Amino acid sequence: MNSTKLNIDHKVQTIGFLLIPGFALMSYASAIEPLRAANQLAKQNLFDWVHITPDGQLATATCGATIPNTVKIGNQPKLDILFVCAGGDPASFEDIATFAWLRKLAKHGIRLGGISGGPFILAHAGVMNGRHMTIHWEHAPILAEAYPDLLLTRSLYIFDRDRVTCAGGIASLDMMHALITERCGTDFATQVSDWLLHNEIRPASGPQRSSLTERYGVHRRELITALELMEHNISEPLDRRSVAAHVNLSTRQLDRLFSQQLGKGFSVHYKSIRLQRAHDLLRSSPLTITEIAFACGFSSASHFSRTYQSTFGQNPSSARFKQ
């Protein structure tokens, strides 16, 4: 690989990784490995990093892997950027000292980032107001329910002034490509990505999930539009007539289309979408069962519980307890 002369200052940029218990290992690794590769390719230390935990103890990922050599919040060196890395249940993280520390860093102008579930913790600390942000699609409904005024977009990553948020997974590679480009230029960032076999750089606005066509195996434009409407209107479900009118079909034609293409009618499929959302919220949010019922378009907790049990074979309380 040809080397590229870097026209940058020689100050080492220090990146902090605040590892919340149960953080997502792939999301973290996809963020830190490009920094290591950049140093190796440049034959100089462009970046340094430090691992931080709320209590200074070993950081353990969801898969059980541990990261040693951590420091407690407040004991870290001066940071240029701090990334908060969190995993499957960021809404349950409650540490007043951590939130206060994040607010202090924000007040001092430190660039703050969140990866995977990390943006939820930034939002909970109150440092995302007025900034556009993203988060892993699994956490987006919970975050939107908890903080409806946030400027939330379901994209791969977003840079908004002194905030950086990323959906996690391998989207961290795309984000770090952009971050290295910021400092070292496109040519060098491309060398780093090539080193990591990351040769398809996705734009920040790229989708987090496969398209509806890929997920459902359907191609009819009317059906795809209807499914989009349904997935984006969970708390206040649209009626059959409204959806049919939007896609220029009669209600009978709409039901026939769903039955033929998906094996079940419009109403049944809409209910299954809402129940799956409720199932996800039970698994990964602190919302009460009543709050989940209303967030998923059910008229009462009792109606939701009956419907959930008939579908999943257990009531919502039991499902949450087993998690």
Alpha-carbon span 210 to 216, nearest angstrom = 10
Angle between helices 221-231 and 251-262 (to 10 degrees): 90
pLDDT of residue 160: 94
The confidence score (pLDDT) of residue 134 equals 94
pLDDT at residue number 19: 95
The answer to whether 286 and 92 are in contact (CB under 8 A) is yes
How many Cβ atoms from other residues are within 10 Å of residue 130's Cβ?
10
Full strand arrangement of the beta sheet holding 81-86: 70-72, 47-53, 13-19, 81-86, 111-116, 163-166, 157-160
Residue type, 320: R
Q: Give the helix/strand (H/E) hosting 157.
A: strand 157-160
Half-sphere exposure of 206 (CA within 13 A, CB side): 18
Q: What is the pLDDT of residue 220?
A: 87
Q: Which domains does the chain have, with CATH numbers?
A: 13-195 (3.40.50.880), 212-322 (1.10.10.60)
Task: Tell me the per-residue pLDDT of 82-122, one tens digit each, with 9 for 90 and over.
Answer: 999 998 788 889 899 999 999 999 999 999 999 999 999 99
Regions of the chain short of the pLDDT cut 50:
1
pLDDT at res. 1: 47
What does DSSP assign to residue 218? -
In 3D space, the residue among 171, 87, 161 whose CA is nearest the CA of residue 129 turns out to be 161
